[in-house]
Structure 1
C-alpha cells in the first residue's frame, strides 16, 4: 500500500480499485474484503446525509437522493471526524447538480436543514428574562445604545422560495396548507430548550435580527429594519425573540 492517502482515496472512489500492498491475515482475497469495507464506508456517509437532510430526500425520493449523495461522497470526503459535520456544503453541490435543476428550491431546503443540524449542536445559553429587558426599556435614554446578544444556536436564512412552509408541510402526515412555493421567505432557526424551531419572519424582523448578529446597538438595528420594511414592529419582534429564548444578554454598546 502506497500511503494512507491512497487508501482513503480508494475508499471513496467511483471505481472498484483495491490499493496496492493490501493483504489478508486469513488468506482471503484482499480486493473482495476491501470492496466490502469500501461499500460500508460510502453507505455510512450516505446514511448520515439522509439523516441530516430528510426533507430533501422526501422531495426527490430516496433512490434519487442516494444516487446524488453517492456522487457527493465520492467528490467531497469528510474533513472532520464528527459525522454530524459531514455534508456542510451539500446545498452548494445541489445548486450545481444538473439532474436537480427542475427543483430550484431544493438547495435552499438543504440549507435550512443544515442550519437545523448546526442549531441542534450549538452551545447552550441561559435565555434572558423578560424582566431584564423590561427594566432596560424603562430607561429610554440608554435603551438605544444597548446591544442584545443572541442565542448561540440562532441562524437565519433568506430564500427566494417558501422553504419554511415547504419544510413544515413535511413534518406531519396532515394535508398540506395552501402556500405559494415561489413566495420568498425568511427563516429563523434556533434551539429553544431541547427543540430546534424553524420560524418564518418578515423582512423587517429578519433585518433586525441580522443587525443584532452583527453587534449593532438596538437603535441602529431598528433603523435598518425600518428601512427594509416601513411597518416593522420592534415590540412584536422583541416579544418573538423573548418567547423563543433567542435573547441571552444585553450590554451597553462599546464604541470603537
Structure 2
C-alpha cells in the first residue's frame, strides 16, 4: 500500500495562500481577474490529483484487506490440520502404550526362558559356523592348446584359479589335500576336437582311481564330457586328475577343462 507524503496535501494550501497574498497587491481589475482564473485552475487541478490519490488508496486498501482475510483463512486451516495431527499422534501413543501393556502380560517366565534358550542355541550355531573350516576351489587348465598325448599317465595341473578358499589346492602340482575329515564334492569337465583321437580324464583319491570320463572317435567336431562324485576324506587325503597315456584334451580362453571341489560338511 502506497503512503503519500504530507506535501501532497500542503501544496494546494500553500499555493492558495500565495495567490491570496499576491492578490492584495493587484493594481487593476483585469490583472486580478486573470490571477483569480489561474488560481482557480490550479486549485481544481490539485483537487483532481487529491481525488485520484484517494481513489488509488482505497483500491489498494481494499486489495490489502482481501489479502489479510485470505491469510487469516489459511492460518485457521493450518491450525485445524495441526489440531487433527496432534489428536492422531496422541491416539497412536495411547495404542502403543496399550500394546506394550498387552505384550508385558504375555511375556511369562516360561516364554522368557524359551527365548533365552533359543538365543543361546543361535549363538552356539554362529560360533560353530565361524569355527567351521571353509574349503572350496575351482580351476581350469589356463592354457590354449592341447595337453597330451603322452606315453605315460600324467597328473593334470590346472593353472588358472577361479577360487581357492583355504588354499588347499596346490597350483604347482594340481593336487588337492583335505584339511579336515569330512564329506567333499568334486567335479570336472573335459573337451577336445576329436580327429581319430581319444580324450578323457580320471579322478584319483590317493592312488585309487575313483571315476573316469572320456570319448574316442573321428567326429571332426568339438566334444565334451563331465563327471562328479561325493567322497568322505580323512585329513591328508589327496585328490587329483590324471590324463591316461595316449589321451589328450584341449583348452582355450573358454575354459573348457575345469576341476572343482568343495567341503560339504565336516564329520
Q: Same fold (TM over 0.5)?
A: no
Bigger Rg, which one: 2
**What's the TM-score once normalised by structure 1's chain length?**
0.22
Question: If each structure's helix is expressed as a fraction of its own residues, which one has the higher value?
Answer: 1
